[in-house]
Amino acid sequence: MKKVTELVAELAAPVVEANGCRLWDVEYVREAGQWYLRLYIDKDGGVDILDCEAVSRTVSDLLDEADPIEGSYVFEVSSAGAERQLKRPSDFQQFLGSPVLLKTYRNRDGRKEFPGTLAGYDDGAVLLDMGTGEPVRFEKNEVAMVRLRIEF
């Protein structure tokens, strides 16, 4: 049986693409006792509120029709954001050489956050150039999250 996020992605992707956008991610999470279904979309030049509204209206109707989720939830559509999280191998490949913030599950060298430049991705392991010579390797089981980082 497919996950809720996979079912929703299959329903939403054609609508997102028809509106000139790309589906970045689908998230189904429980926060403060409420379930949230979130679509994150992206497009060259950035996503605006009209993009989100157009996708939201059509996908909401499709969700009502298909009814892939039992119970109530809040449905949201938003931009993937400038400091988006990288999850899939293709995300890491697309943003090689970009500034990122890597967070670990446990302390490493006395800290859990490591800013640097994405230097590589190898089957879940992340290579991070922190300006200290050789890139530092973080194994898949160490990495809690990697997101793009905007530098000013």
pLDDT tens-digit profile of 20-35? 999 999 999 999 999 9
DSSP letters along 48-62, please? -HHHHHHHHHHHHHH
| 3-state SS class at 83 | coil
| Helix, strand or coil, per DSSP, at residue 34 | strand
pTM above 0.85, yes or no: no
- CATH, domain 85-148, list 2.30.30.100, 3.30.1490.20, 2.40.128.20, 1.10.287.130: 2.30.30.100
Residue whose token pair is 């446990």 = 106
9: part of which helix (H) or strand (E)?
helix 4-18
Residue ranges of the domains in the chain? Answer: 4-79, 85-148
Q: How confident is the model at residue 141 (pLDDT cuts 50, 70, 90)?
A: very high
Task: For the chain, state the CA radius of gyration.
Answer: 18
